[in-house]
Amino acid sequence: MSAFAGLMRTTKLPQWVGSLLPVFWAVIVGFAVCGAIAGTVGLSPLLMLTELIKGAVEGPQIFETVARAVPLVGMALAAAMPLRAGIVNLGTDGQLVLGGCVAAIIALYLPAPDGVRIVLALITGTLVGGAYAALAAAGEIYARVPLLVSTWLMSYPAKGLCGWLVHAPLADPLVAWPSTRRIPLGTRLEHLIPGTPINDGFLLIAFAAILIVFLDRRSSVGYELRLRGLNERFARYGGVAIDRQTFWLMFASGAMAGLIGAVLVLGSQYRFTDGALTAPQYTWSGTLAALLAGGEPLGAIIAAVLFAALQTGGFAMERSVEIPRVLTMVLESIVILFLAMRGAIWRRR
């Protein structure tokens, strides 16, 4: 392992190859283990593998994977940004829900032309998510409430408030599940590729992802974040305004989550339904992806896309050959464990 690590350090590969290679190994090992498990219970490992891959990328399935990757990448970035500087936002769930809820309300009730409404819905959803996370930052800056605690706890009132809104005042009486009315056609995000679930949200998140990777590598602000993540005391010593950075960083992270909420509501769910945004556990997978990459945005994006592929592949496999999807969860866990272990081994050197 150390010889391999040494090779990694000395050879001059482009950075993205470096971040991709361990993921590749992790997947191979994950497949091997899952194949072995499948084999012992009498399922064909080869069948499992091919079905999983087909389910993730074959034909129209590739669009499913991309559609799933959009929110996952977004949530991975929302978690990765603060992590890059060594702080955490555990409240992206709440910020996601707030963003989606606010976007739905604006799309439904704002008396304005469609075009204006959709833009305002996106912007407001983003800003509200950001503001809510920034509130937690202010709590840490002015009252020393640890972000770890406040972001986590503040998720509950956010989810509670939005849930109450769709239970009572804004509820659509026609559906059983507590949700808003369906938002009108004109204020939905358009399908980018007709006949697929991919909508304009893809462009928004892709743009945000490129921007974040670029700023991380090439901007003064990204430099300060990175250095703070490596040694906060050093960053402070050099004059980095830590508190101001915390505030805006949390704002950006929450805004990303809020944007995802708005995109999901305006682009695929078409109404805000209690629990619908959090049920697919984008937050959870996104946070894991960010943790695996140690907050490095490109690595987080790659991990998030991989998770999206595994998840759609798993669904498809279950549907087509009745191999239980649990196996893909096993696969996912093994990939994660292996990647995390690799991190520890490399750090120890």
Member of 1, 6, 24, 184 binding another protein (CB under 8 A): 6
- Asked whether the beta carbons of 90 and 151 are under 8 A apart, the reply is yes
Member of 224, 274, 318, 332 binding another protein (CB under 8 A): 224
Q: Which of the stretches 160-168, 234-242, 245-253, 282-290 binds another protein when contact is defined by CB under 8 A?
A: 234-242
Member of 13, 193, 231, 326 binding another protein (CB under 8 A): 231
- What size, in residues, is the chain? 349
Amino acid at 78: A
Please tell me whether residue 223 binds another protein under the rule CB under 8 A.
yes
Member of 226, 337, 343, 346 binding another protein (CB under 8 A): 226
Name which of 223 and 248 has its Cβ closer to another protein: 223
Please tell me whether residue 69 binds another protein under the rule CB under 8 A.
no
- Asked whether the beta carbons of 210 and 298 are under 8 A apart, the reply is no
Please tell me whether residue 27 binds another protein under the rule CB under 8 A.
no
Rg over CA atoms, the chain: 21
Name which of 15 and 320 has its Cβ closer to another protein: 15
Site for another protein in 240-269 (CB under 8 A): 240-241
Write b or e for each residue in 87-120: b if 16 or more Cβ atoms lie within 10 A of its Cβ, otherwise e: bbbbbbbbbbbbbbbbbbbbbbeeeeeeeebbeb
Q: Which of the stretches 35-43, 47-55, 64-72, 225-233 binds another protein when contact is defined by CB under 8 A?
A: 225-233
Please tell me whether residue 17 binds another protein under the rule CB under 8 A.
no
Please tell me whether residue 235 binds another protein under the rule CB under 8 A.
yes
- Asked whether the beta carbons of 54 and 61 are under 8 A apart, the reply is yes
Q: Which of the stretches 140-148, 168-176, 238-246, 332-340 binds another protein when contact is defined by CB under 8 A?
A: 238-246
Tell me the C-alpha distance between 329 and 293, whole Å.
Answer: 20
Member of 36, 116, 206, 230 binding another protein (CB under 8 A): 230
Please tell me whether residue 18 binds another protein under the rule CB under 8 A.
no
Phi and psi (nearest 5°) for 273?
A: -115, 135
Member of 11, 143, 220, 322 binding another protein (CB under 8 A): 220
Number of chain residues interacting with another protein (CB under 8 A): 21
Q: Which of the stretches 56-64, 152-160, 237-245, 320-328 binds another protein when contact is defined by CB under 8 A?
A: 237-245
- Asked whether the beta carbons of 308 and 205 are under 8 A apart, the reply is no
- Asked whether the beta carbons of 45 and 36 are under 8 A apart, the reply is yes
Write b or e for each residue in 288-311: b if 16 or more Cβ atoms lie within 10 A of its Cβ, otherwise e: bbbbbbbbbbbbbbbbbbbbbbbb
The CB density around residue 259, as the number of other CB atoms within 10 Å, is 29
Name which of 221 and 329 has its Cβ closer to another protein: 221
Q: Which of the stretches 15-23, 57-65, 228-236, 298-306 binds another protein when contact is defined by CB under 8 A?
A: 228-236
- Asked whether the beta carbons of 269 and 101 are under 8 A apart, the reply is no
- Closest to 181 measured CA to CA, from 91, 110, 108: 108
CA distances from 192 to 67, 121, 196, 200, 203 (A): 11, 19, 8, 5, 9
Name which of 182 and 226 has its Cβ closer to another protein: 226
**Secondary structure (DSSP) of 104-142:** HHHHHH--S-HHHHHHHHHHHHHHHHHHHHHHHHHHHHH
Helix (H, G, I), strand (E, B) or coil at 199: strand
Member of 41, 237, 322, 348 binding another protein (CB under 8 A): 237
CB of 233: closest distance to another protein in angstroms?
A: 5
Please tell me whether residue 239 binds another protein under the rule CB under 8 A.
yes
CB of 260: closest distance to another protein in angstroms?
A: 26
- Which residues of the chain form contacts with another protein (CB under 8 A)? 6, 218-224, 226-227, 230-231, 233-241
